[in-house]
């Protein structure tokens, strides 16, 4: 060793280090092969967990928010109630109407054509006059125009209902029936049958007036009663043709 140059000593040290690392690797592999599978699996899991934690974007965290059904119902009623009008002709209750536009178009199922002394009671106790526009003799849906002013500065702004896609509703789906002549009241039920022009509901509780508006738990209008019975409704997709500005 004392006759080796400095360069030879460095090279010898590197050689010894290289041989030692190879020997260490061989011993480690041999020991792992002798260990039980559980030890190897534990090591693998630790490595995988380390990679999963260190690698950005490797995992996606999803937050689940649980909403109680009673809370969903009350929120839906509050939302839909802003877009529902109780329509009167003199002292005759015409029916519950759905506001379809910011300008005040209102769709209502009616037994007859009503044109005189029309009024709509809105949420909060406001009352506005209505004018008759048209009535579809096949569906019985009448269209009215709530009072509006020509001056844009005085124009009333109404809250239109959100009309659901009635084709997307499912049998057994929970629904809310909004009804009431003097004041709004509610009942709950489920969809019992449906097709493109009628929706049937199995409602819970006492009998109710046959002028109900049907909404889902998001507060979207699904249908309006067709007047034939308290559980038969005209789908909202049939109302969309009236939902112009």
Average pLDDT over residues 56-82: 69
User: How many Å apart are CA 142 and CA 153, to the nearest integer?
Assistant: 29
Instruction: Please check the confidence at residue 35 and state whether its pLDDT lies above 60.
Output: no
Interval 168-217: pLDDT, tens: 999 999 999 998 888 888 888 999 999 989 999 998 655 556 588 999 99
Long-range CB contact pairs, 188-195, < 8 A, 24+ = 188/73, 189/231, 192/231, 194/166, 194/169, 194/235
Mean pLDDT of 133-145: 94
Sequence ranges of the domains in the chain: 6-54, 69-242
pLDDT higher than 50, residue 53? no
pLDDT in the model for residue 41: 41
Least confident interval from 14-18, 77-81, 175-179:
14-18
Between 135-144, 147-156, 201-210, the lowest mean confidence (pLDDT) is in: 201-210
pLDDT for position 208: 59
Closest residue by Cα to residue 163 from 210, 107, 120, 208:
107
**Closest Cα to residue 106, out of 117, 116, 95?**
95
Give residue 4's pLDDT.
63
Residue 241 has what pLDDT? 85
pTM summary value = 0.69
pLDDT of residue 214: 94
Which CATH number fits the domain 69-242, given the four candidates 1.20.140.10, 2.30.30.100, 3.40.190.10, 2.40.10.120? 2.40.10.120
């Amino acid at each position: 060793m004392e006759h080796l140059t400095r360069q030879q000593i460095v090279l010898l040290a590197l050689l010894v280090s290289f041989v030692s690392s190879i020997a260490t690797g061989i011993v480690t592999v041999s020991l792992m092969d002798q260990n039980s599978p559980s030890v190897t699996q534990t090591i693998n899991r630790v490595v995988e967990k380390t990679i999963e934690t260190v690698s950005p974007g490797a995992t996606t965290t999803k937050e689940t928010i649980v909403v109680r059904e009673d809370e969903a119902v009350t929120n839906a009623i509050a939302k839909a109630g802003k877009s529902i009008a109780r329509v009167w002709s003199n002292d005759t209750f015409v029916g519950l109407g759905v506001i379809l536009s910011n300008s005040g178009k209102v769709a209502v199922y009616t037994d007859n054509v009503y044109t005189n002394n029309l009024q709509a009671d809105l949420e909060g106790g406001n009352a506005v006059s209505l004018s008759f526009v048209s009535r579809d003799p096949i569906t019985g849906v009448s269209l009215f125009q709530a009072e509006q002013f020509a001056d844009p500065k005085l124009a009333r702004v109404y809250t239109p209902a959100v009309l659901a896609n009635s084709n997307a509703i499912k049998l057994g789906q929970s629904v809310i029936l909004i009804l009431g002549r003097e004041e709004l009241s509610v009942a709950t039920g489920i969809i019992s049958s449906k097709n493109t022009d009628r929706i049937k509901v199995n409602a819970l509780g006492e009998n109710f007036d046959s002028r109900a508006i049907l909404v889902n738990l998001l507060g979207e209008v699904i249908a309006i009663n067709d007047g034939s019975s308290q559980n038969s409704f005209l789908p909202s997709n049939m109302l969309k043709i009236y939902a112009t500005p």
